[in-house]
Structure 1
Amino acid sequence: MFLPALRAEVAKILTTRIWWVLAIILVVYIVFISGGLGALFGFFSTSEGQATEQAPPTEFLAPMLYGSVSTFGYVFPVLLGALAVTSEYRHQMLTPTFLATPKRGLVLGAKSTALLFFGAIYGVVGVIASVGAGAGALTLFGLDTQLDNSETWAMIGRGVLALALWAVIGVGLGALIPNQVAAIVVILAFTQFVEPTLRAVTMFADWAASLGRFLPGAASDALVGAPSLFGVGATGPGVDPLEWWQGGLLLAALALVLTVLGYFVSWKRDVT
């Protein structure tokens, strides 16, 4: 029963345009950020005088650019996951879905698995964009791209995993907030304003930074293991960021909790 349900969920995504439209926007966005920051910091790093003080150390620059796919791009797989659920409510597709597969938990599990796969695809295209644009900018200014470092490639692989987990988090959010407009507003407000503000504020005190490192975005940066513009792991000077595996477990736990809550809050309700 699970494989037919999984194939059905994959087919639902592939028959819409939103998945590849979001993927294209993700690539353009990450190329702009990684390439733009790479050129900016590359200019500072190679300029004479005080301007060099404005650039991060060169050994942190390449990982920071490559990790931008997680720091800035995670909103796209979250949106995809949420839209995959809320569109079923909006277009009244749940009734035939549940008639074909009466076990609703199985349907939600298949949807989460399908979005884990598509999130990984977003991760792959995202890291290609961040590494391509970032390494290109660094090469232009004669800086080390760190691509001969095995840790860099491990970080890139964890970036793919991070975006895959974010897509499943989106499924949980969509199940918890079935209204499509409300879900999109909540996701954009939290990812683009609330969390960046909280991460910036928590860096001013060690006790706040100890809590701030458990924010979803900070956990994602910890999983990837790349320096962030929000601070390395979004922590204060006296607080260590989470280990990469701790960040991964935190994201996975968040995805599980949101999905279970969504299942009991709205997914089990009667549909028309």
Structure 2
Amino acid sequence: MGGLLVAEFRKTLTTKLWWALMIPAVLLAFAFSLGWGAFANGLDEVLGSSEMRLIAQALGISTGTLPTGLLAIGHGINVGLTFAVIFGVFALAGEYRGRTITTTFLTAPNRVSVLAAKMITYVVWGAVYGLAVAAVSSLGIVFSVNNSGLPTAAQWLWVFAASMLAGVLSTLFGIGVGAVWNSVVGSVVTLVIYLLLIENTLVLFGYGQWDIAWLGAVLPNGTMNGIVGAIGAQAFGAAGVKLPGLEEKTQWWLQYIAGAPGAVSWWASALVFALWTAVFFAGGWLVNQRRDIT
């Protein structure tokens, strides 16, 4: 296993892919957190001063010290981790495309050990992606959010930890999708369209037209985003333990502003997304036990 792990790390470090995807990930993470940070500063105007006072009173703090930065940082992290998903796709599907999978399988004791080595390697890479996008997203809200609205040290630590967890699961999710699909192009195009367009449209339409508030709590993109986004929502009493007097509509829109519409809590989002990841990863694992490599 040690040799397989060394080989997997060499495969990633000797190619341009890891930093070619990291660059747009951190740039978009910074841009989104910066833009949403500026938006979060005007939250009084968005929700109405009476609702903001209600939230602040229920939390036992003044309106001006609400951690609005937590509502913005999740957007930067979430869009950045889309590239972690894409990076994961290349783990196995990329080897089939480059026709290196035959050598990989034939020089290893068995296919199970190869997939296990890839999983361990990309767990590390997922954590790196999560750490990187959390760092630049933090920088984005520092530049755009008033000092009084920045997270506390403890909240920032939670965000970094949640981002690394989301990065690990996102990368493994990408491996699973790529392994099942066995196509880099097909997997990437499908994932990007689904994660950024289809599911977001479905969640917004579902709530606006059918009053279905829980879609984001069960679908892949919503649960991936909810790992970090729900931390911001929970800080405003819009997830986890609901604040008394907080209307359902206000709660959902606070979740949306935090990047986690429908989220119950960060740990529930992590659990559901881990189930999605396990389903695709197990499916890819099974498919590749029988797939012809000649």
Could you tell me the TM-score, scaled by structure 1's length?
0.85
- Structure-2 change in CA distance of 1:260 and 1:226 (3 Å): same
**Is 1:37 equivalent to 2:36 in the alignment?**
yes
Structure 2 unmatched runs, 5+: 53-63, 234-254
Counterpart in 2 of 1:185? 189
Larger deviation, residues 222-231 vs 90-99: 222-231
- Structure-2 change in CA distance of 1:166 and 1:208 (3 Å): same
Counterpart in 2 of 1:233? 260
Return the alpha-carbon distance in structure 2 between the equivalents of residues 119 and 69 of structure 1: 16
- 1:221 Cα deviation after fit: 3.3
Aligned residues: 256
- Structure-2 change in CA distance of 1:157 and 1:122 (3 Å): same
Counterpart in 2 of 1:49? none
Listed as ranges, the matches of 1:54-69 within 5 Å are: 54=46, 59-69=66-76
Residues 81 and 171, structure 1, Cα contact 8 Å, conserved in 2: yes
Return the alpha-carbon distance in structure 1 between the equivalents of residues 200 and 210 of structure 2: 17
Counterpart in 2 of 1:89? 96
Q: Residue 132 of structure 1: SS of its match in structure 2?
A: helix
Q: Which residue identity lines up with residue 21 of structure 1 in the other structure? A: A
Counterpart in 1 of 2:45? 53
Return the alpha-carbon distance in structure 2 between the equivalents of residues 206 and 4 of structure 1: 54
- 1:249 Cα deviation after fit: 1.8
- Structure-2 change in CA distance of 1:174 and 1:75 (3 Å): same
Listed as ranges, the matches of 1:81-230 within 5 Å are: 81-139=88-146, 142-148=147-153, 150-204=154-208, 208-224=212-228, 225-227=231-233, 228-229=255-256
Residues 81 and 133, structure 2, Cα contact 8 Å, conserved in 1: no
Counterpart in 1 of 2:238? none
Any idea what the Cα deviations from partners look like across 1:97-116, whole Å, max 9, x if unmatched? 11110411111111111111
Counterpart in 2 of 1:245? 267
Q: Residue 269 of structure 2: SS of its match in structure 1?
A: helix
- 1:246 Cα deviation after fit: 2.0
Any idea what the Cα deviations from partners look like across 1:203-253, whole Å, max 9, x if unmatched? 237873234411122222332223354667312xxxxx3332222122222
Return the alpha-carbon distance in structure 2 between the equivalents of residues 41 and 4 of structure 1: 48
Structure 1 unmatched runs, 5+: 46-51, 236-240
Q: Residue 84 of structure 1: SS of its match in structure 2?
A: coil
**Is 1:264 equivalent to 2:263 in the alignment?**
no
Q: Residue 35 of structure 2: SS of its match in structure 1?
A: helix
- 1:55 Cα deviation after fit: 6.8
RMSD: 2.3
- 1:40 Cα deviation after fit: 4.0
